[in-house]
Structure 1
Amino acid sequence: MEELVQQIEQLKQEINEYQSVSAELTEAFRIKYLGTKGIVKNIMGEMKNVPNDRKKEFGQILNEFKVFAESKYEFLKESTNGSTKASATIDWSLPGDPVGVGSRHPLSLVRNQIVSIFKRLGFAVAEGPEIEDDWHNFGAMNLPEDHPARDMQDTFYIHKDPSWLLRTHTSSVQARVMEKQKPPIRVICPGRVYRNETVSARAHCFFHQVEGLYIDEHVSFADLKQTLYFFVQEMFGKDVKVRFRPSYFPFTEPSAEMDISCLICGGEGCNVCKHTGWVEILGSGMVHPKVLENFGIDPNKYTGFAFGMGVERIAQLKYQVNDLRLYSQNDIRFLKQFTGAV
């Protein structure tokens, strides 16, 4: 029996050193060691010659030898099958797969275009924090705590006394600019803002704005109108029609909302423009004297205008997007449509 055990050890060493680089060699291994007339089966046949008192011991040795040979075969089969499959399916002479090129988000495209247009008019870009205090967001903009207009800008408060909140408009950036800089001031303020609104196809709890501010001597409403006329024609084309409607904002007086002819129906009337032929795109007006006084700017010497627009609304008209939620859902099918607009 000792001779048989020694033979098994020699066979295990032989099996361990066996190498295969093809399916044919792997099959030859199977036939030699694991076939119906193979070495493993012949060794197993020696069990009948083992004394009864040692059958249990020798049976364990034989089972280990069989498992060892089968494991080696599985290893050889897996390695040779993988190499055969790889060599059969991969043509190394072919060029590599193209690397996908991303695109800018549609809101980034529109924001950058808005910024570019106003830069050509001499406006600088100003930015500020998204977490703002009550004074810069409301108080400085002529919105005291008991002002009913605050209800239109219901927002998310971080904590109160003192109040800190997620800004509701980028007017807070204008406030910080007027706090540090004296006229002449000519800035635009792009950024994300937040309001506690129900998410739907027409509204979201966050959106993006671009606001503008121009303060200097002898600034008039005519300057405001010509600035916005230029913007609309550069953004939407020379044929778009424009109208101003009287409105109310606490931080401007007089105030007006600006509409353009609906680009979806050409002014004929549709669901987007509520069958009026006009779509509101921004609010504007002359800076309220109280706002100027809040920052030590003499309202008898200086005047100014301000305006604010939602980037989503401009993008909706420019690209005819019918659901505001598409901008923030990260749907690759939606975003791929803007690849050519990079």
Structure 2
Amino acid sequence: MTLIDRYLAAVAAQLPAAGRDDVVAELRDDIMSRIEARQEGLGRDLTDDEVEAILREVGHPLEVSARFGSGPQHLIGPELFPWWMFGVKVGLIVLVAITLFSVLIKTISGQDLSQAIGQGFASLFSGAMTLIGVATAAGYIIERQGEKPSFITNWRVRDLGFFEVARLDAEGFNRALGSDAGAPESVRKTQRMSPVARALSSAVAAAVLTAWWAGAILFGGVPLNEWVVVVAGVDYTHAVRETVSLIFWPVVVYGVSRVLFDVFRAANPRAVRLAAVGDIALACARFVFTAWLLLISPLSRALEVGDLRQALERTWDTVQTGFQSGVWSLSGIVVMIMVMSLLEPAGRILISLVRLVTGVDRRLEPSR
């Protein structure tokens, strides 16, 4: 095999089968024309070194095949890159928040702080690499589609509040969440996140939390069902693991339903009554989950909560003792959190019932 044949074979190996022969023939003609012109100028045949020099001028087989290949010559182009960067940034914000929560829970449960932080950093790094890899793979696929997704061009100004979430400074978060109490009312209204933005941010958070619960993402380096939970010298590990085992699949179903509902709500922001029905169903599920955890679950038995009256008394005793002596019972705090968690879905149900009856969602009203 001559140098030219070897060179052309290397180029052909990088080309798709369709049109390969035509490209190789065209390239061979170009190479032979260069060689003949050089031979005519020198008045003799070229040596192998001189032929190789011409082939170097033509270019490396990988570069040459790329010029003849189809599709973009980059993973993610300039049009899609800002979307990739935004998705990665929001995903990292959620990962950091959940990692900090995981470190806090592990520290409260008795694990050494330095060990918890080390595991948190390791899991955060692993999760970040996975997130970036998945985002890059998705961007690579989208980049090579004949038609770009509609969200790149078919966007609305009313939905742009969600993009403020990517700002990491406190001022940006205050504006995104509409909590800048010092600003005039007219300014606060224009800074609130739109219903579409809230739905999308809720979908992202629910997706990450569901993935963590299912074990697809590990925070703290240990699956949830393998956590060791020791609070104030009392081992709650068995109760926690048994509780997780009993509600594992119901929580997965709830998480997936939450994501799908939020996506629907983002795509149909004016479907007030349908959104109200979904809110009521999900709030009822949260209420049942919380009531079960508080009153019936293995964790409830470990915390020695017999009924709702005892839970309320335990909450009051925890608050009263905490303020009087400055000593707060961690198990009492857990009971208090679960009692208070019953109020959120109850309030959500009442608000959603009003929207279901009236068909009006004040969050959709334009700012004045």
TM-score (norm 1): 0.24
Structure showing greater radius of gyration is: 1
Which structure shows the higher helix fraction?
2
Which structure shows the higher strand fraction?
1
Higher relative contact order (CA 8 A, sep 6+): 1
